[in-house]
């Protein structure tokens, strides 16, 4: 990025060397005097390249090469993936010693700048201390606070930080509890507190006035500064970063100002706080911050006073919290001056709002103030679960949702039987468990399950034995139908003798035909076994295993299917546990290619890649709406066991299959929704079947 301040300083030096006044320079350069005054004050908002060129020519300076060098540097901007590094800081403090407190704030800010922090938040009234009491009326303290605010601004001018600090400020004969927002040597805005607690240990109504309804401009030092609560600070180098501010009690009320701030566009809310400790308050405070970030679909940075405040009546713990859309990214230990940092994903926040915020009206009266940060995502202070769909807390819930969904369909259709194909694989095992659970809810015996195993050319002894043993153990009515003869006859009928996709799909469709016909014979429902990962990749045969009368696994990805089977095993009697664990340990395969001396010739993950990668890609693409490059970037951090080339290879395959196989999802049967990602065209995922994939697959692939 071009450093305009550096160029203006060079121009100032040359002007002084030549003994020119501003009037003389205005005449020589042809720039209006008023505009020139703004330029000389280094107001980057006013500077244009044509101004630099005119001033350079007027003074005989050769700035062309310098501009080229600066432009070259701007082409080397650090990578940006939507992550904004924020810090919630409670440095050491001396009550009523504004100089000492400013020293610590400046020291902390300079340290944070080295750590590539973009937004730094300090506690409520941190320049004076929150617990000054009636000293807040003293002109000495109030003047010192303003002087130190200006010094903080000046001494952090060379950082990339947006800094928020707290101080008392007298405006139009009213004293306000304020947050001051600073960036690159400039006071951007002053935000006063809206709700003043005057109950129990708090008596702010004694000292402060509540924030005015409308914004206006005030003068601090030699700067004109926006004053009010309806203020948005918008990063000119990162348009998704829009910051708003509220103070302590503001978030404890029924309708916090941040509700409107975020509806107006703020993606990160800062809260300067002085929240003292009492029994149980720690968890309540954390839950409140977390839930406010969820309700507002925002990042929420909360910073509270620390143990150096006066303990005459209360104790403060420096409980600092950083949350993002309902998740606490980081929080501090209590009773320690600290710096708590995290990277908030503002791109994800915007992605989510694009989907969910259309109904929210935009509030009136907001002013936007520009600032300049430089997000550097070379290193991301963030980790992601390699199995985003797998959460042990949800296992019982998923099993119950499956069972209740199937029970409702069973009762509605008045079906006598549930018909399910069992292969000895993970998906059919989980479907069989769901059938058993649904019948139990309906007060019916598991013998109402017709479990059909249909071995053919690629069926191994291991999977066949497991399918038979599992069906018998579950008390299902078992049918074994070898389909090899009928498939051969079909292939002969269509005069096909190759080992290819026709051979594979013929088996899948033969099995589906049997399931459908048996269901007709016994007034049954064919229960689909295919999972979410297979639907995403189109790893299913159209009008084969893609089709059923009701699907119980359609919202459950492969990684979660395996985890659920293992979970049921861990809670089951030893014989059943042994069967389930062996099924979980069996390589995933459709078992469609003929065996070679009894050995499996087809392993799904050797062909289409690891399911744990595909499930990760699926979650980040359909749930987070991340770009292809961002998915690749975080996958490389999340899966160090794979090389970046391997990850990119499977990511390209994921997009190719996901996009080209949409037609299979467009005609999928009804099924149970259990999670945040669903590919049914009837509920969540609506995508044409003929989308061009160019934007999602690298040119090299």
Q: At residue 138, what are phi and psi to the nearest 5 degrees? A: -75, 125
- Catalytic pick among 124, 324, 510, 648: 124
Tokens of 276: 């003292």
Tell me the Ramachandran region of residue 595: left when phi exceeds 0, alpha when psi lies from -120 to 50, beta otherwise.
beta
Element (H or E) spanning 55, and its range? helix 49-59
- Catalytic pick among 126, 245, 248, 296: 248
What is the distance, to the nearest Å, from the Cα of residue 8 to the centroid of all Cα atoms in its chain?
40
Name the residue among 301, 227, 232 with its Cα closest to residue 262: 232
Which residues of 135-173 form beta strands (DSSP E)?
162-171
Work out the number of other CB atoms within 10 angstroms of the CB of residue 227.
24
CA pair distance 440, 5, nearest whole angstrom: 74
Tokens of 249: 């009690």
Q: Is the dihedral of CA 193, 194, 198, 202 positive or negative?
A: negative
CA pair distance 506, 454, nearest whole angstrom: 13
Element (H or E) spanning 139, and its range? helix 139-155
CA pair distance 422, 480, nearest whole angstrom: 10
At residue 212, the 3 state secondary structure works out as coil
Do the beta carbons of residue 659 and residue 609 sit within 8 Å?
no
324 catalytic? Reply is no
Do the beta carbons of residue 108 and residue 117 sit within 8 Å?
no
Alpha helical stretches, state H, 414-500: 426-441, 461-474, 484-493
Q: Residue 480 burial (CB < 10 Å; 0-12/13-18/19+)?
A: middle
Non-local (6+) Cβ contacts of 56 within 8 A are 11, 62, 63, 64
> Measured between alpha carbons, how far is residue 275 from residues 250, 251, 305, 315, 558 in Å?
12, 11, 7, 9, 45
Q: At residue 171, what are phi and psi to the nearest 5 degrees? A: -135, 120
At residue 175, the 3 state secondary structure works out as strand
CA pair distance 647, 110, nearest whole angstrom: 38
CA dihedral angle for residue 90, residue 340, residue 251, residue 264, rounded to 10 degrees: 120
Q: Is the dihedral of CA 395, 400, 402, 405 positive or negative?
A: negative
Tokens of 104: 């610590």
CA pair distance 576, 189, nearest whole angstrom: 66
248 catalytic? Reply is yes
> Measured between alpha carbons, how far is residue 677 from residues 16, 559, 619 in Å?
65, 14, 7
At residue 163, the 3 state secondary structure works out as strand
CA pair distance 335, 267, nearest whole angstrom: 29
Do the beta carbons of residue 208 and residue 168 sit within 8 Å?
yes
554 catalytic? Reply is no
Element (H or E) spanning 503, and its range? helix 501-521
Name the residue among 224, 175, 220 with its Cα closest to residue 38: 224
Non-local (6+) Cβ contacts of 623 within 8 A are 388, 676, 677
Do the beta carbons of residue 371 and residue 188 sit within 8 Å?
yes
Tokens of 319: 């409980």
Catalytic residue numbers, as ranges: 124, 193, 248
């Amino acid at each position: 990025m071009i450093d305009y301040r550096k160029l203006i300083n060079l121009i100032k030096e040359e002007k002084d060397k030549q003994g020119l006044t501003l009037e003389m320079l205005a005449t020589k350069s042809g720039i209006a005097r008023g505009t020139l005054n703004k330029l000389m004050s280094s107001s980057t908002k006013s500077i244009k390249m044509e101004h630099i060129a005119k001033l350079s020519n007027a003074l005989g300076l050769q700035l062309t090469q310098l501009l080229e060098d600066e432009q070259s540097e701007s082409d080397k901007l650090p990578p940006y993936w939507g992550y904004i590094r924020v810090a919630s800081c409670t440095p050491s403090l001396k009550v009523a010693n504004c100089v000492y407190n400013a020293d610590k704030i400046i020291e902390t800010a300079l340290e944070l700048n080295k750590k590539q922090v973009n937004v730094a938040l300090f506690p409520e009234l941190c320049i004076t201390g929150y617990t000054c009491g009636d000293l807040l009326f003293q002109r000495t303290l109030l003047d010192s606070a303003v002087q130190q605010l200006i010094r903080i601004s000046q001494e952090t001018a060379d950082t990339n930080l947006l800094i928020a600090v707290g101080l008392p400020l007298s405006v139009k004969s009213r004293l306000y509890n304020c947050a001051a927002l600073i960036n690159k040597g400039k006071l951007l805005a002053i935000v006063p507190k809206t709700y003043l607690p005057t109950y129990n240990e708090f008596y702010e109504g004694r000292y402060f006035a509540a924030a005015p309804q409308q914004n206006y401009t005030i003068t601090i030092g030699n700067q004109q500064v926006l004053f009010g609560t309806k203020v948005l600070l918008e990063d000119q180098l990162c348009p998704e970063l829009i910051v708003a501010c509220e103070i302590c009690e503001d978030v404890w009320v029924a309708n916090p100002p941040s509700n409107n701030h975020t509806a107006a566009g703020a993606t990160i809310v800062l809260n300067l706080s002085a929240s003292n400790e009492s029994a149980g308050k720690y968890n309540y405070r954390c839950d409140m911050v977390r839930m406010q970030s969820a309700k507002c679909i925002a990042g929420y940075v909360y910073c509270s006073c620390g143990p150096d405040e006066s303990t005459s009546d209360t104790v403060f713990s420096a409980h600092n919290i950083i949350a993002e859309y309902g998740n606490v990214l980081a929080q501090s230990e209590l009773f320690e001056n600290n710096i708590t940092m995290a990277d908030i994903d503002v791109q994800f926040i915007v992605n989510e709002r694009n989907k969910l915020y259309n109904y929210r009206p935009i509030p009136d009266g907001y002013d936007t103030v520009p600032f300049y940060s430089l997000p550097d995502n070379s290193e991301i202070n963030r980790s992601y679960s390699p199995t985003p769909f797998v959460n042990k807390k949800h296992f019982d819930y998923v099993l119950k949702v499956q069972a209740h969904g199937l029970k409702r369909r069973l009762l509605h259709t008045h079906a006598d039987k549930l018909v399910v194909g069992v292969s000895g694989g993970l998906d059919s095992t989980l479907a069989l468990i769901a059938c058993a659970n649904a019948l139990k809810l309906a007060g019916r015996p598991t013998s109402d399950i017709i479990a059909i195993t249909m071995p053919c050319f690629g069926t191994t002894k291991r999977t066949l034995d497991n399918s038979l043993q599992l069906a018998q153990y579950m008390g299902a009515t078992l049918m074994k139908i070898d389909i090899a003869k009928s498939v051969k006859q079909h292939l002969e009928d269509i005069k096909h003798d190759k080992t290819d996709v026709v051979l594979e799909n013929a088996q899948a469709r033969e099995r589906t035909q049997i399931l459908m016909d048996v269901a007709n014979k016994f007034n049954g429902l064919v229960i689909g076994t295919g999972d979410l990962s297979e639907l995403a990749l189109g790893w299913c045969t159209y009008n084969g295993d893609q089709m059923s009368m009701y699907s119980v696994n359609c919202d459950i990805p492969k990684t979660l299917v395996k985890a659920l089977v293992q979970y049921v095993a861990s809670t089951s009697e030893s014989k059943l546990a042994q069967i389930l664990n062996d099924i979980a340990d069996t390589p995933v395969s459709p078992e469609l290619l003929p065996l070679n001396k009894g050995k499996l010739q087809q392993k799904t993950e050797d062909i289409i890649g690891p399911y744990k990668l595909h499930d990760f890609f699926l979650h980040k693409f359909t749930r987070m709406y991340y770009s292809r490059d961002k998915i690749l970037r975080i996958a490389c951090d999340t899966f160090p066991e794979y090389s970046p080339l391997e990850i990119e290879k499977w990511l390209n395959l994921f997009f190719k299959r996901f996009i080209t196989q949409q037609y299979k999802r467009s005609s999928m049967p009804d099924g149970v929704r259990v999670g945040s990602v669903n590919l049914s065209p009837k509920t969540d995922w609506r995508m044409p079947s003929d989308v061009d994939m160019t934007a999602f697959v690298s040119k090299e692939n």
